[in-house]
């Protein structure tokens, strides 16, 4: 696990000395760590998927099967989702979407990246 803490001190006219600075910076880092929440960073591939409302159950099942992370959605005449799947599942997800083309489920592969959970 990699962690980085940056503490910025604005000089207010009081000189703290070496030990005072060490204590102030240490306390600032401690407070930041205590206030933080751990997040999992997942390498992923982003897709845009469009489908008719009648295919919602299929897409819901795919959400579970491929651990989809939704970034954006648009519900108009058809549904358009921007979703990510973990990188190791992306080829299987793409293959499954190709198998469903006969159901008017279309997609395009976007960029690789990360999502946080």
How high does pLDDT run on average in the chain?
92
Q: Is residue 3 scored above 80 in pLDDT?
A: no
pLDDT digits (tens, 9 = 90+) for 54-71: 999 999 999 999 999 999
Rounded Cα–Cα distance for residues 78 and 53 (Å): 6
Q: pTM for this structure?
A: 0.71
| Cβ pair 47, 109 in contact under 8 A | yes
List the domains of the chain with CATH numbers: 1-38 (no CATH), 41-116 (3.30.70.240)
Q: How far is CA 7 from CA 21, 33, 35, 37, in A?
A: 11, 11, 14, 18
């Amino acid at each position: 696990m990699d962690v980085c803490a940056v503490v910025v001190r604005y000089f207010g006219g009081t000189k703290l000395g070496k030990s005072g600075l060490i204590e102030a910076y240490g306390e600032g880092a401690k407070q930041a760590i205590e206030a933080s929440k751990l997040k999992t960073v997942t390498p992923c591939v982003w897709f845009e998927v469009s489908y008719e409302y009648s295919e919602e159950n299929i897409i819901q099942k795919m959400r579970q099967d491929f651990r989809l992370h939704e970034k954006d959605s648009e519900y108009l005449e058809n549904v358009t989702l921007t979703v990510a799947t973990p990188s190791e599942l992306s080829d299987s997800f793409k293959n499954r979407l190709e198998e469903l083309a006969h159901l008017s489920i279309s997609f395009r592969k976007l960029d690789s990246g990360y999502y946080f959970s």
